[in-house]
Chain A
């Protein structure tokens, strides 16, 4: 009884693993919709926003002078703009790409 159960278990396991890993041998693998570059830029944008927020918190908790804060904030926002430009450029390219 136990041996039969064990045999059944192993057969089910091997079938499952075989099915799960046989993707390259079957047609119709879906490509993800969002590009890697777009996700990287989104991630960079989030990080830049976090940096801007951090800078604001540093200023409000008295770690930065007015002048230092303004200079740094300007620089960080300019960097955020560059990232957004890159995202726009990518979106523009994607929209213009032949389907």
Chain B
């Protein structure tokens, strides 16, 4: 079946190349039948790649270790759900997922535009199939997902235990959907520039795809942050890692694009800027894909090495050179139809928001690539850490949050002072009240940016609340509906506007969570013996007892041994919560003779974080029970020697199955000994306020995105069309 899979990839490549040729030939010679054939190539690519995905997934589910990808990233002990997701934990599997998603979204876009933008679509088809050809070429010639093992192992290396987390099941498909969705506006922008049709039509048609890309990237970024918070055992959700930054950069640029396209749609302005943003965001998406795969920058999320760096650099260079060429040679047709009427207008606020977003992206790009830049300039690779990123991104983020409150209450074209006074009075008063409240509650000297952010966020929430209230009031005046119904009708009738406002609310909530949790967090890292306590902020955490499990792991991730602790948390003597942090141990990727017990647990160890989460505060605990050296005495904990002792009791001459059985008995004895006579364990204990607001903010952003992306009801369109037709016909009759 693997050979069939490889042939499927070859067919996919041929389909891409044919489709590119057919679409371009059709466009150049005005042959609609060839253009249609090119369009069908996109659908065929989706079908062919779906078959490839199915073949590979079946191999993972069936534990077919004759496939290199399966043998390297899955095993019989990997639970089924994680075996399914193991496909995209391999380099080649994730490339297949990338191009498969591209083919699905491209098919949707090409189908929806089958009778529109006929001059642009053939070129857009070619660009989309060009991406398809690039990735299928990698899959056919450089990194086939259907590669075969020279000798088939009895078991695989298993999925990296760090990836055995529910967030990781959907994080990569979300990120890749975000990356691939943005290929669609990119392809249409290239097509529109080639045929010099640069009105807002291609933007209107592809706006929802850009919004979908923005949403999926946002979900992917947040899921990644949650995974980091729950799985990595350091208590943080954002570490300015190159791969995290790689997803954030196109998200920032697509945020800028989603704002500035409104100016082009309404005023015919910023055409060069918008074209550049689309081309830039898509190029950054490929840069992100390159970063994950090339191994040029150190990241815990990246695939190691591989020979994919050069092809990706070539693709990025082509995209950058082609984009610059198209924008420069089309600059005459891209000239703005109007100019900015006033610096005190929504256009100006959007423009400033765009400059800040692009500035943020530049800062992150510089920080991410600094190791390469410093290597090229000085010959020494130097890294910049979170403090460097914070120094530049925090002020820019503060301005952005403030702007997300100003934009919704300011008029297009020109705002007057009287209207501004009326619209800004409540938000400014709310921000002022927050400043006074913060001054009395918070030790302000150590957290000025955080207090400013709270004030900005309150400004946003008040301005958005005011917009919803005024809109509902206006709706009620027209329709006499009850307030909740009027609110719903208003949102339904203006989904793009109010969806955007909901997004701004979510962003404000999210930033409150980020600011509070990073400023007012209390953390303790220490060794505790059973019975000992420590203070974490206002909380007391006591190590009550040790726990252990063999095979039957509480986290259901396929761990062979789980060692943990029970922590009792109190505040002022009152019970608050019980935390059960644990460490999961997994089998080694290859079994060594004479070390059967050790091999059962000498794979990667993963901390299972214990979390008591609430709207006010998160109590977070992680444990490292094994291999801990006590800082005070330098004494090693005894489990390692117990494991070694266990191995000496198993004779090498014993049959393999019996050896394994004996090893599990030894492991049970060790787990039992650990529970009855636990050594000191190393704990990381954190009390962090408002972390849940980050995830809640993300959900609100998602709700806003869905509201904005949802198409307007057809019946309503028809009614309004009829009403305006009647009115305009009347005016035409008078003319």
- Tell which of A32, A62, A81 touches B732, judged by Cβ atoms closer than 8 Å: A81
| A-contacting 9-mer, from B44-52, B185-193, B577-585 | B44-52
Interface of A is mostly: helix
Which of under 10, 10 to 19, 20 to 34, or 35 or more describes the interface residues of B?
35 or more
Q: Are B11 and A21 in contact (CB under 8 A)?
A: no
Residue A44 lies at the interface, judged by CB distance under 8 Å to chain B: yes
Q: Are B37 and A23 in contact (CB under 8 A)?
A: yes
Decide: A60 near B32, CB < 8 A? Known: A21-B37, A47-B265, A80-B724.
no
Distance (whole angstroms) from the CB of A86 to the closest CB of chain B: 12
Interface of B is mostly: helix
Interface residues of B in 114-150 (CB under 8 A from A): 114-119
Q: Are B51 and A9 in contact (CB under 8 A)?
A: yes
Q: Are A65 and B419 in contact (CB under 8 A)?
A: yes
Decide: A46 near B717, CB < 8 A? Known: A21-B37, A40-B116, A60-B474.
yes
Q: How many A residues, CB 8 Å from partner?
A: 48
Chain A hits for B731, CB < 8 A: 77, 81
Chain A 1-39 near chain B by CB (<8 Å), digits 1 or 0? 010011101100110110011111000010110101001
A54 to B, closest residue via Cβ:
B497
Chain B hits for A72, CB < 8 A: 413
Distance (whole angstroms) from the CB of A37 to the closest CB of chain B: 9
| A-contacting 9-mer, from B197-205, B389-397, B696-704 | B197-205
Q: Are B411 and A2 in contact (CB under 8 A)?
A: no
Distance (whole angstroms) from the CB of B440 to the closest CB of chain A: 33
Q: Are A36 and B115 in contact (CB under 8 A)?
A: yes
B197 to A, closest residue via Cβ:
A40
Separation of A7 and B1 alpha carbons in the complex (Å): 9
Q: Are B416 and A47 in contact (CB under 8 A)?
A: no
Decide: A84 near B474, CB < 8 A? Known: A10-B4, A21-B22, A51-B266.
no
Chain B hits for A14, CB < 8 A: 11
Separation of A60 and B691 alpha carbons in the complex (Å): 37
Distance (whole angstroms) from the CB of B711 to the closest CB of chain A: 11
Chain B 411-432 near chain A by CB (<8 Å), digits 1 or 0? 1111110110011000000000
Interface residues of B in 93-120 (CB under 8 A from A): 114-119
Separation of A80 and B43 alpha carbons in the complex (Å): 37
Q: Are A17 and B11 in contact (CB under 8 A)?
A: yes
- Tell which of B43, B410, B416, B721 touches A65, judged by Cβ atoms closer than 8 Å: B416
Residue A91 lies at the interface, judged by CB distance under 8 Å to chain B: no
Q: Are B47 and A16 in contact (CB under 8 A)?
A: yes
Chain A hits for B418, CB < 8 A: 65
Q: Specify which of B37, B41, B422 lies most central, judged by the most chain A CB atoms within 10 Å of its CB.
A: B37
Residue A53 lies at the interface, judged by CB distance under 8 Å to chain B: yes
Residue B31 lies at the interface, judged by CB distance under 8 Å to chain A: yes
Decide: A24 near B33, CB < 8 A? Known: A60-B474, A81-B728.
yes
Give A contacts to B, CB under 8 Å. 2, 5-7, 9-10, 13-14, 16-17, 20-24, 29, 31-32, 34, 36, 39-40, 43-44, 46-47, 49-55, 57-58, 60-65, 68, 72, 77, 80-81, 84-85
Q: A17-B48, A21-B19, A39-B115 are in contact. List 8 more A-B contacts (CB 8 A).
A: A6-B3, A20-B40, A23-B37, A43-B205, A57-B474, A58-B412, A68-B411, A81-B728
Query: What are the 7 A-B residue pairs with the smallest beta carbon separation, nearest first?
Result: A6-B4, A60-B474, A63-B411, A61-B470, A29-B33, A32-B115, A36-B118
